[in-house]
Amino acid sequence: MEWLTYLLKGTACTVLFFGFYLLVLRKLTFFKINRFYLLATLLLSFIIPALQFEVKREITIVETEIPVNIPEINPVIQAPVQLIQPIMVKYQPRVVHKIDWMAVMYYVYGITASLLLLVCLWRLFSLFKHTNRYTKNGDGLKLITKTEGFTNCSFFNYVFINDEDLSTADLSILLKHEQVHARQYHSIDKIILMVFKAVLWFNPVVYLYDKALEQIHEYEADEITFTDFGNQEYANLLLKLAISKSDVPLIHNFVKSPIKDRIKMLFHAKSKNMKKLTYLLALPVAVGLFWLFAVQVVYAQHIKEESKPSKDFYKGTLKGKVLKIKKEAVGVYTFDFLSEGKVYSVEATVYKEKIKVGDELLIYISGKSSNMKRMDGTGKVIAKTDGPIYIPIKVTTLKGNLIYEWKIGKHAFLYEANKARFVSSKIKSIEKDANGKIEKIVLNDGFFTIGLNLKTQNIKDDNFKVGDKVLVKFIGEKLVSKHTYSTDKMIVLYSEPKKYTIKNEALYNRFYFSDGKQKVAVVKNEAAKVSGPVEPKIISFKKITGDVQHKVSYMENAVIDISNCRLEAGYVELDQLNGKMIAKNAILKAKDGGSATAKIFVFNLRNGSYSTENSRGTTKVSKGLGPDHQMLQRMRDSLTKADNKVETSVSYSAQDSVKMSSDKSIVTLYGKAKLDYKNFAISADEATYNRNTEKITAKNLTVRNKITGITMIGSYGEFDINGKAEVWQGNK
């Protein structure tokens, strides 16, 4: 793509430079200067796009406070999807081969340019074949007599003449004219133009350059020749030889350029020397093209002195260059970053593929860890880093292009384990009646609006003001418009920091103890429920056939979503009319964790239940596929130990509180949180479990690998679906 951009920029330069020549310079009789202008601007058209200069303009960084300890929640609500009715045909997925048009353009351009250069070399070779025998005159010209083909023309100091039709006087004029071409090295210009026409063969302006430069060559030779022989005699000779032209592009034919223009120029009044100042007008054109194509404005962010990191900083901004990307012994990826003469080790596990050595970056740092360590079960250090690791919250190029950013999801509110909703926001307005009692408080965090209807609660309070930051807990909300909720069941409203309180005692006592702790501190999996009819959604298949009349489909290598599970099967028979689906050699995966395999699955789509058959033909019936997201117990009920393996899900508890997102996919535990996850037993001050990504993050934690017995202690840890664990010591 870069080569195409370069050629297009070069083409744009030739258009503007030649346009200035046509409009301003063409009629001036300063032929040497015009020749220099055309050659110089043609070369500049290639040089300017190849140059790259940076002009830095500083912009001020606007620092914003980034909230912490708020998990990112991206709920996905799928609209109901109707099952596709197949027809009685066999279907094979068609592989579409995309044409790489950029590669095609590259080859077309390269082949065409190469062929034109070869043609140029062939023409040079053809000319030199005729230079073996010549006669040298007193002016240094090498005369070659020819009676056919290209005659009365020159190439460097070789002059091809046909003296049969020329008198002695005419021959003298012709030789004087060609002597000017030889001494001014006009043939070099012709070779340069041949190369430019081969490289920019698609650019019509280059051919106009060629014609204009050839015309200037003839004007320059005519001007010197008719000074010695007179205008009239010279014009007569031009007319006499006008009938014998040659189409060889590398030679200077005596009458090749338009005769009418040349004769008119012989009698044209010479331009005054003051008009040479006109050429200065070309400078703004050149400067403009240089600024447009060679100068790149970089908006460098100005870092205030107080935001620059100290020697042992935990927060600040770095600007510099990537020196080396590496994997640390503790498992994380980092890169050495040179900034203001100091090298920092920056964590880059998530975005390491997006950077390379030599990149100039701007990095916003949130914290560092002091010599990260990994220990075994006895407390012995088995791996550690050479120095502190700095943790970025945002990484950009110097131009401002985003490489990495720690994103925080926007949500109207979150759920606590006791089902109370909570959110931090600001007071937008307060409505009071004539007696000063609060009727309504409207909150807005810049994105979501929540209206608290307090008219029935008989509250009189002057401590809360518009603009105050508050924490509110409530239930019974209603969505009244996009991003706007309303409720008349506020539980409690706290100022932040917690100084003033408005409390609905009845609701508060229902959800909290007197010390503020939730009355439900541990969340357990709900019992499985039998659901109603389910609608399977076909995701993909290798081949499908069907019976439209009886609404039966037969699929090979199919992937189907059914309720909160995904079915992957070698063969599926879907009977819509009878509400039945049979899957063979299949695996059934719950989206919230757990999976089951069986030789045969039989689904009852009318009541949401299914049964399985193992390799020995025994069958057990499950409890269904309802929307309660509790797949694990149903798998235990339906599968035998001999043929199926069931994975355990995460179990968790906390001493202080357990808070959940609205779709229950994200759970946050506070105060002596404990989690049993795959091969890990985790204890932490605070932890977050994301069911969708099967990922746990924890702070101030102790983790024990139940298989190896290795125990690690750190201030931050991450655990993913593949059983991979990473623990940091220090701030993350």
Q: What CATH number is associated with residue 550?
A: 2.60.450.10
> What pLDDT band is residue 66 in, cutting at 50, 70 and 90?
very low
CATH number at residue 373: 2.40.50.140
Q: CB within 8 A of 442, min separation 6: which ones? A: 427, 428, 429, 430, 431, 449, 450, 451, 452
Give dist(CA 590, CA 629) in Å, integer: 8
Claim: this prediction has a pTM higher than 0.85: no
Q: What is the mean pLDDT of residues 601-627?
A: 61
Q: What is the mean pLDDT of residues 215-229?
A: 81
Which residue, 583, 616, 638, sits at the end of a domain?
638
| Structural domain includes residue 89 | no
Of residues 235 and 83, the one with the higher pLDDT is: 235
19 and 41 in a single domain? The answer is yes
Structural domain tally of the chain? 6
Q: Which of 240-249, 426-435, 665-674, 688-697 has the lowest mean pLDDT?
A: 240-249
| Structural domain includes residue 496 | yes
Which CA distances in Å does 517 have to 351, 521, 522? 40, 8, 12
The dihedral formed by the CA atoms of 373, 376, 378 and 383, expressed in degrees to the nearest 10? -40
Q: Which one, of 482, 483, 399, 405, lies nearest residue 445 by Cα?
A: 483
**DSSP H helical ranges for 201-328:** 204-229, 231-240, 259-266, 282-293
Which neighbouring-strand residues pair with 598?
A: 586
Angle 341-345-351 (CA atoms, 0-180°, nearest 5)?
120
Range with top average pLDDT, 365-374, 427-436, 575-584, 689-698 = 427-436
Helices (H), strands (E): how many in the chain? Answer: 11, 39
In one-letter notation, the amino acid at residue 229 is F
Q: Is 322 in contact with 359 (CB distance < 8 Å)?
A: yes
Range with top average pLDDT, 180-184, 235-239, 468-472, 587-591 = 468-472
657 and 680 in a single domain? The answer is yes
Q: Which one, of 422, 461, 462, 459, lies nearest residue 443 by Cα?
A: 422
Q: What is the mean pLDDT of residues 86-98?
A: 46
CATH number at residue 464: 2.40.50
Range with top average pLDDT, 78-92, 261-275, 486-500, 632-646 = 486-500
Q: What's the pLDDT at 593?
A: 60
Q: Which one, of 476, 502, 478, 498, lies nearest residue 489 by Cα?
A: 476
* CB burial of residue 288 (10 Å; 0-12, 13-18, 19+): exposed
620 and 655 in a single domain? The answer is no
118-171 pLDDT tens trace: 988 888 888 888 777 777 777 778 888 877 777 777 888 888 887 776 777 777
228 and 129 in a single domain? The answer is yes
316-325 pLDDT tens trace: 788 899 999 9
Q: What's the pLDDT at 378?
A: 60
Give dist(CA 197, CA 188) in Å, integer: 14
118 and 238 in a single domain? The answer is yes
Q: What's the pLDDT at 309?
A: 47
| Structural domain includes residue 522 | no
Q: What is the mean pLDDT of residues 577-583?
A: 88
Which residue, 495, 511, 527, sits at the end of a domain?
511
The whole domain housing 450 covers: 419-511
Which CA distances in Å does 728 have to 50, 159, 251, 311, 331? 47, 84, 77, 21, 10
Q: Which one, of 227, 212, 244, 235, lies nearest residue 17 by Cα?
A: 212
Q: What's the pLDDT at 441?
A: 95
| Structural domain includes residue 520 | no
| Structural domain includes residue 74 | no
| Structural domain includes residue 425 | yes
Give dist(CA 411, CA 448) in Å, integer: 8
120 and 254 in a single domain? The answer is yes
Q: Which of 189-193, 247-251, 412-416, 619-623 has the lowest mean pLDDT?
A: 619-623
Share of the chain above pLDDT 90, in %: 15
Q: What's the pLDDT at 551?
A: 81
Which residue, 638, 662, 693, sits at the end of a domain?
638
> Residue 685 is encoded by which pair of tokens?
């001050």
257 and 139 in a single domain? The answer is yes
709 and 571 in a single domain? The answer is no
**DSSP H helical ranges for 386-466:** none
| Structural domain includes residue 429 | yes
463-490 pLDDT tens trace: 999 999 999 999 999 988 888 999 999 9
256 and 146 in a single domain? The answer is yes
Q: What is the mean pLDDT of residues 287-315?
A: 60
Q: Is 581 in contact with 575 (CB distance < 8 Å)?
A: yes
205 and 286 in a single domain? The answer is no
Share of the chain above pLDDT 70, in %: 74
Give dist(CA 56, CA 572) in Å, integer: 63
Q: Which one, of 719, 696, 692, lies nearest residue 73 by Cα?
A: 692
| Structural domain includes residue 86 | no
138 and 253 in a single domain? The answer is yes
Angle 334-340-345 (CA atoms, 0-180°, nearest 5)?
15
171 and 231 in a single domain? The answer is yes
The dihedral formed by the CA atoms of 528, 532, 537 and 541, expressed in degrees to the nearest 10? 80
364-421 pLDDT tens trace: 886 555 566 666 656 577 777 777 888 888 899 988 888 988 765 567 888 787 788 9
Q: Which of 94-108, 397-411, 674-688 has the lowest mean pLDDT?
A: 94-108
List the end-to-end C-alpha distance of the chain, in Å, as a whole number: 40
The strand ranges marked E within 454-542 are: 469-475, 478-481, 484-487, 489-495, 501-503, 537-540
In one-letter notation, the amino acid at residue 430 is I
Range with top average pLDDT, 170-179, 206-215, 311-320, 516-525 = 206-215
Q: Which one, of 255, 107, 105, lies nearest residue 174 by Cα?
A: 255
> What pLDDT band is residue 708 in, cutting at 50, 70 and 90?
low
Q: Which of 363-372, 472-481, 586-595, 674-683 has the lowest mean pLDDT?
A: 363-372
